[in-house]
Amino acid sequence: MIDSFVADDANKQVMSEILAKHSKLKSEEILQLVEQTFEASRKQNREAVRDLSSRFSKEVAEKIRVEIRERMLPKPQEMKIVQLVEILKNKKVLFYTGAGISIASGVHSMDQLQETLGIEMSEKVDGLLKKATANPQGVIDSWEEFTKAAFEKPATPAHQSLGRLAQKLKSQIFTENVDHLQERAGVKSVHLTGPWLKENVQPEWLKDIDAVVTVGLSYDDRGFLGWYKENNPNGKIIAINLSQPSYLGNEDFMLKGDCQKVVPELEKEFAEKE
């Protein structure tokens, strides 16, 4: 997303406005910093970009990143539960879950796991290596805690409701998660991997899916949604999430809210309309 942002010179003005809003830099300093940032980013000079970012506190740098992301995001249509109920009743859907559905049960998201283990892909010396050298048992304990949670934590209310909905609709549940919380809710899900996706998901099958309903999915890490849109341009993505995911287009839909509340309510309203 940042690559496409810096590719357009018009966004220099956008970034200048964002920096003026969140920093105390003078106008001349902002102009210089913007030029340096765009040049370094276009050359894929991550070290230079990191050095430029270090001029701000982590809090300010994060605010800048968030606002850039928000300005670049498409504008999907807002959807209410009652509208999604009608789609579930009349269309063929596939459910696709991400880490957001499991966090309430105590299973770390990938970002949380990376933070716990000290994994930082942009750094020259990864924090995980430092931690493993200084405290190997601590790293082992953190990893074992994650795997134990993934296989032993109870299913959340969203898992339970989603499982029952999928059974009623005879719909499949795909997931990017490594945990087995959906299985603990009594319904088997398909755990996507790159190789499985290419070998088992056929274009003709994707054309038969009217909509993919994502739950707690922030990123299309496995590339499934891109593959779906490529083979079914008329297909829609409906995201149930706290914030807008990057994979939604202007033609898609957003049902904003906590999936632990939204999905049980969706199940309830669907039952009332049966």
Based on the fold, state whether residues 119 and 133 are members of the same structural domain. yes
Query: Which has more pLDDT, 250 or 273?
Result: 250
CATH number where 201 lies: 3.40.50.1220
Q: Please provide the distance, in angstroms rounded to a whole number, between the alpha carbons at the two ends of the chain.
A: 42
Based on the fold, state whether residues 97 and 185 are members of the same structural domain. yes
pTM of the model: 0.72
Based on the fold, state whether residues 39 and 172 are members of the same structural domain. no
Based on the fold, state whether residues 92 and 49 are members of the same structural domain. no
Residue range 3-38, pLDDT digits in tens: 778 888 988 999 999 999 998 899 999 999 999 999
Based on the fold, state whether residues 137 and 201 are members of the same structural domain. no
Based on the fold, state whether residues 264 and 252 are members of the same structural domain. yes
Based on the fold, state whether residues 117 and 240 are members of the same structural domain. no
Based on the fold, state whether residues 92 and 168 are members of the same structural domain. yes
- Name residue 206's beta-bridge partners: none
Which band of pLDDT confidence, cut at 50, 70 and 90, is reported for residue 119? low
Number of domains in the chain: 3
pLDDT of residue 151: 60
C-alpha torsion sign, points 167, 168, 174, 178: negative
Based on the fold, state whether residues 48 and 136 are members of the same structural domain. no
Based on the fold, state whether residues 158 and 147 are members of the same structural domain. no
pLDDT of residue 62: 86
Provide the domain limits for residue 89.
77-106+153-273
Based on the fold, state whether residues 175 and 235 are members of the same structural domain. yes
